[in-house]
C-alpha cells in the first residue's frame, strides 16, 4: 500500500504543479489580468526653429499720399504773392512770398486777415523776398479773382483757378489766403489794386 499511497501523492503533486503552470501560462497570455509593473513612456517634443534675418527695408520719411506739409499751420490767414505752384504727393502747393500790411502786426493778420477792397494806395509791402512759405491747397478751395475797373466802383469779380492765380498781373498779384486748421488754403482772393 505504501507504493499506491506514494504514487497517489506523486500524482497529486504533479497535478498541482500542472495546475500552477497552467494558471501561470494563462495569466501571462491573458494580458488584461496581468498586474505586472507598468512601463511609463514620456515623449518630449523639441521644436526646431529655423530663422533667417529679414532683408532691410528702406524707410522713407514723407507724408502719406494726398497730403502735403504746410509751413503756415496755426495761422488763419496769410498774405503775399504766389511765386510758384508745385505738387507734393499729388497735392498742389502754393509757394507764397509773405507780405505785410502797413500798421498791422503779422499776428493780427494771421488771426483776423485783412479786408480786400479796391484802392489806389499801397497798403501792402514786401519786406523780405527771400523767405517763402509752402501752403497746400485743399480740395475744393475757392479762388476769387477781383479786378479794379475804377476806384469809385466795386471790383469785377469771378470764380477763378489756381492756375490763373499763378499768372496774375503784377498789379493784382497780392493775394489773401484763408487757411484751414491744418494750414491748407481753402479760399484765395486777389487784391484789386487800381
pLDDT digits over 78-96, tens only? Answer: 999 999 999 999 999 999 9
- Do residues 93 and 132 make contact, with C-beta atoms less than 8 angstroms apart? no
pLDDT-derived band of residue 140, with 50, 70 and 90 as boundaries? very high
Q: For 19-33, 85-99, 167-181, which range has the lowest pLDDT when averaged over its residues?
A: 19-33
The pLDDT assigned to 194 comes to 87
Given a cut of 80, is residue 9 above it in pLDDT?
no
Of residues 4 and 114, more confidence is placed in 114
Catalogue the E-assigned strands of the chain: 77-88, 91-98, 100-101, 124-125, 133-147, 156-160, 174-179, 185-190
Q: How far is it, in rounded angstroms, from Cα 157 to Cα 160? A: 9
Q: How far from chain centre, in Å, is Cα 192?
A: 42
> Within 10 Å of residue 78's Cβ, how many Cβ atoms?
25
- Do residues 161 and 142 make contact, with C-beta atoms less than 8 angstroms apart? no
Given a cut of 50, is residue 164 above it in pLDDT?
yes
Q: At 106, phi and psi to the nearest 5?
A: -60, -35
Which residue shows C-alpha cell 488754403? 185
The pLDDT assigned to 19 comes to 40
Given a cut of 60, is residue 38 above it in pLDDT?
no
With pLDDT > 70 as the criterion, what percentage of the chain qualifies?
Answer: 66
What's the whole-model pTM score?
A: 0.66
pLDDT-derived band of residue 39, with 50, 70 and 90 as boundaries? low
Q: How far is it, in rounded angstroms, from Cα 65 to Cα 89? A: 5
Q: How far is it, in rounded angstroms, from Cα 130 to Cα 97? A: 8
The single-letter DSSP state of residue 119 is B
pLDDT-derived band of residue 135, with 50, 70 and 90 as boundaries? very high
Amino acid at each position: 500500500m505504501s507504493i499506491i499511497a506514494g504514487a497517489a501523492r506523486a500524482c497529486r503533486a504533479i497535478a498541482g504543479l500542472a495546475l500552477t503552470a497552467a494558471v501561470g501560462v494563462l495569466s501571462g497570455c491573458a494580458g488584461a489580468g496581468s498586474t505586472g509593473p507598468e512601463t511609463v513612456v514620456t515623449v518630449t517634443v523639441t521644436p526646431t526653429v529655423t530663422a533667417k534675418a529679414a532683408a532691410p527695408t528702406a524707410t522713407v520719411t514723407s507724408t502719406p499720399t494726398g497730403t502735403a506739409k504746410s509751413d503756415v499751420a496755426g495761422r488763419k490767414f496769410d498774405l503775399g504773392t504766389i511765386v510758384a505752384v508745385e505738387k507734393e504727393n499729388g497735392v498742389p502747393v502754393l509757394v507764397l512770398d509773405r507780405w505785410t500790411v502797413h500798421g498791422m502786426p503779422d499776428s493780427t493778420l494771421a488771426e483776423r486777415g485783412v479786408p480786400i477792397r479796391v484802392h489806389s494806395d499801397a497798403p501792402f509791402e514786401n519786406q523780405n523776398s527771400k523767405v517763402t512759405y509752402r501752403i497746400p491747397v485743399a480740395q475744393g478751395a475757392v479762388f476769387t479773382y477781383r479786378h479794379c475797373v475804377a476806384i469809385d466802383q466795386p471790383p469785377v469779380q469771378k470764380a477763378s483757378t489756381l492756375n490763373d492765380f499763378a499768372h496774375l498781373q503784377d498789379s493784382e498779384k497780392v493775394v489773401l489766403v484763408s487757411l484751414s486748421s491744418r494750414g491748407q488754403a481753402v479760399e484765395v482772393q486777389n487784391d484789386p489794386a487800381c
